Structure 1
Amino acid sequence: MVTPGLLYFALFKYWPMWGVLIAFKDYLPFRGFWNSPWVGFKHFDRFFHDPVFWLLFKNTFVLAIYNIVFFFPIPILIALMLNELRLEWFKRTIQTAIYIPHFVSWVVVVGMAYTFFSLENGIFTNMLVQAGMEKTNFLMSNTWFRPMIILEVIWKESGWGTIIFLAALSGVDPTLYEAAKIDGAGRFRQMWHITVPAIRSTIVILFILRLGNFLDTGFEQIFLMLNSTNREVGEVFDTYVYVNGIQQGQFSFSTAVGLFKSIVGLCLVLAANQISKKFGEQGVY
């Protein structure tokens, strides 16, 4: 029964990892993978000394921090609020409504953003003008680029992120709440002293796993939102790899950039796992 799963990871996860070797080669398609010349850390040296490196690092890092600070807690809060609902049909209706955006593609989400925030005919933009406020070009603004990215992520993925937390909450012993009621604890005290501790280990594990994708800010969404005026704050590692690797055919260089991201994610996971163990949590291993 385990064999299909092992074959899947072996063929589609571990075997392709040999491809990272081209980060240390000057890969030439007509010479093939093994016959391309080795160049050592040439592509890494080029990347780290490129003036665009710090711009990419800053933009990616800021968006990653925004994701951790603003997006990561939202599914937890929603799960806690859903857990307090007593009308089962109402709870399931809300769950269904907030799950649906997850299945909407980023192309549609960005199209909706353009419909709402377009300078000329945007619904939200026209509402601001009718309210007597100054017309703002949200889609072309450096100031509004990052908030719009995070708001889109929250709208699309927050509901889906509650599934694991709700599953963890379903395992809480109901007698704990009954004992708390006898002791005079209100709903908020019950949530703070019973519900939150019950999902604390789940929160820690998901946070650690989230750090593994810390520098993955979502290529498709950002690529679709980028334009010539907000590129200074919107250009990230993912879009840089696409431009250099796919459009310009610099396969070795773009692989080196991707490998750098993976190493940073691995270091963050290892560090967060050790810190969580020092605070008494189990971590991911």
Structure 2
Amino acid sequence: MKRGTPLKQRASRLLKSYQLYLFVLPAVLYYVLFHYVPLYGIQIAFKNFLAFKGIAGSPWVGLEHFERFFRSFEFTKIILNTIKLSVLQLVVGFPAPIILALMLNQLMHKRFKKFVQTVIYAPHFISTVVIAGMLFLFLSPDTGMVNKLIGLFGGEPVFFMGDPDWFRPVYVLSEIWQNTGWGTIIYLAALTTISPELHESAVVDGANKFQRILHIDIPGIMPTAVILLILSTGNIMSLGFEKVYLLQTPLNLPSSEIISTYVYKTGLVGAQYSFSTAVGLFNSIINFIILITVNQIAKKASNTSLW
């Protein structure tokens, strides 16, 4: 009876809170079915996958596909392109929603604040395909609005989408325009948790708005910013495939070919499933190592971490 008592207590607690478990169940099933079950296919990275033999029946080749990728003449270019684009997006794009959230938090006119939030949130809901089409349209050297403005000031038209040097600025700036507004939501929520009494005390002490932002608002949202920075850094090698692929042209490939587009072209288009799986697995391992490293650094530096 003594052994059964804890089990009965657990069963009783489970029955009392069954609604909560049912509420969580769809999310758990999603991750199990679409994130854990597919891990079975990772083994083809170490095999010469043959469709008629299946995953289990395909012969093992060890690290052959990884060695092929490391020795590829495209290896250095792809890795550098991925890192440069990711780091540029992180350095320029990560502070943008923080700055915007701090500015919005200072707006006292509620209607104007809601109007601004609606305007900056709207681009997030535009399809990536539409965004890419807009960029090609606006940046066209013949009919693009941007080049028309350049011409008005006496400049020469620029072929933005055909110049490798312009690919990264165009991608990063369009990402900031599309997602910065949406990213402010988390920081605005974090700012609401800061006690108004701190601001009242600071005003009594003679602090201006900039000083209150610097010494109250920024420290108040710092834990949230650190967590999001860790998550962003952990995905530094995993840029979104869709937008990069849609913005690629034969002329800007030297700077636009990244790991995700390379995996798509070799894996799905080229039907080299084992090789592309090996490249994707290598990418995931690097992201995992970076995530753990940055998390430990953040934990020691600010006592804020994912675990």
Normalised to the residue count of structure 2, the TM-score between the two structures is: 0.91
Equivalent residue for 1:259, pick from 256, 263, 281:
281
1:147 aligns with 2:169: yes
Deviations 1:126-173 (A, max 9, x none): 221122111211111112111001011011111111111111111111
> Does residue 104 in structure 1 map to residue 98 in structure 2?
no
Q: How many Å apart are 1:4 and its aligned residue?
A: 2.7
CA offsets, 1:46-100, max 9 Å, x none?
0001110000011111001101110111011111111111111111111111111
Which one-letter code corresponds to 2:43 in the other structure?
A: L
Say which of 8, 11, 15 aligns to 2:37: 15
User: Matched residue pairs, number?
Assistant: 285
Alignment of 1:126 onto 2:151: no
| Structure 1 residue 177 corresponds to structure 2 residue 199 | yes
Which of the numbers 81, 87, 90 marks the counterpart of 1:59?
A: 81
CA distance in 2, matches of 1:215, 1:110: 22
Identity %: 44
Moved more, 120-129 or 152-161: 120-129
Q: Secondary structure at the match of 2:305?
A: coil
1:212 matched residue in structure 2: 234
Distance 1:23 1:187 in 2: 56
Deviation track 1:243-269 (CA, whole Å, cap 9, x = no partner) reads: 100101011110111111111111111
Deviation at 1:284, TM superposition (A): 0.3
The worse-fitting range, judged by mean Cα deviation, of 131-140 and 198-207 is 131-140
CA distance in structure 1 between the aligned counterparts of 2:60 and 2:93, rounded to whole angstroms:
42
Deviation at 1:275, TM superposition (A): 0.6
Q: 1:271 aligns with which of 293, 296, 300?
A: 293
Deviation at 1:218, TM superposition (A): 1.7
Task: Give the corresponding residue for 1:4.
Answer: 26
Query: For residues 32 and 146 of structure 2, what CA distance do their matches in structure 1 show?
Result: 49
- Whole-angstrom distance in 2 between the partners of 1:56 and 1:280: 34
Distance 2:158 2:30 in 1: 49
Measured against aligned partners, the alpha-carbon deviations of 1:166-214 in whole angstroms (never above 9, x if no partner) come to 1111111111100111111111111111000001010100000111210
2:266 to 238, 241, 244: 244
Counterpart Cα distance in 2 of 1:227 and 1:137: 12
Question: Which amino acid is the alignment partner of residue 202 of structure 2?
Answer: A
Root mean square deviation of aligned Cα: 1.0
SS at match of 1:38: coil
Give the partner amino acid of 1:173: S
User: Residues 225 and 4 (structure 1 numbering): CA distance in 2 closer, same or farther, change over 3 Å?
Assistant: closer
> Secondary structure in 2 aligned to 1:26?
coil
State the secondary structure of the residue aligned to 2:49: coil
Rounded to whole Å, the distance in 1 between the matches of 2:242 and 2:29 is: 29
Look up the match of 2:212. Answer: 190
Q: Distance in 2 between matches of 1:143 and 1:277?
A: 37
Structure 1, 274-283 or 45-54: larger mean CA deviation: 274-283
**Deviation larger for 118-127 or 148-157:** 118-127
CA distance in 1, matches of 2:306, 2:108: 33
Letter in 1 for 2:234: G
Q: Looking at CA atoms only, which structure, 1 or 2, has the larger radius of gyration?
A: 2
- 2:9 equivalent in structure 1: none
For 2:43 and 2:298, locate their aligned partners in 1 and report how far apart those are by CA, in whole Å. Answer: 33
**Aligned partner (choices 97, 100, 106) of residue 78 of structure 1:** 100
What are structure 1's unaligned runs of at least 5 residues? none
The answer for the alignment partner of 1:167 in structure 2 is 189
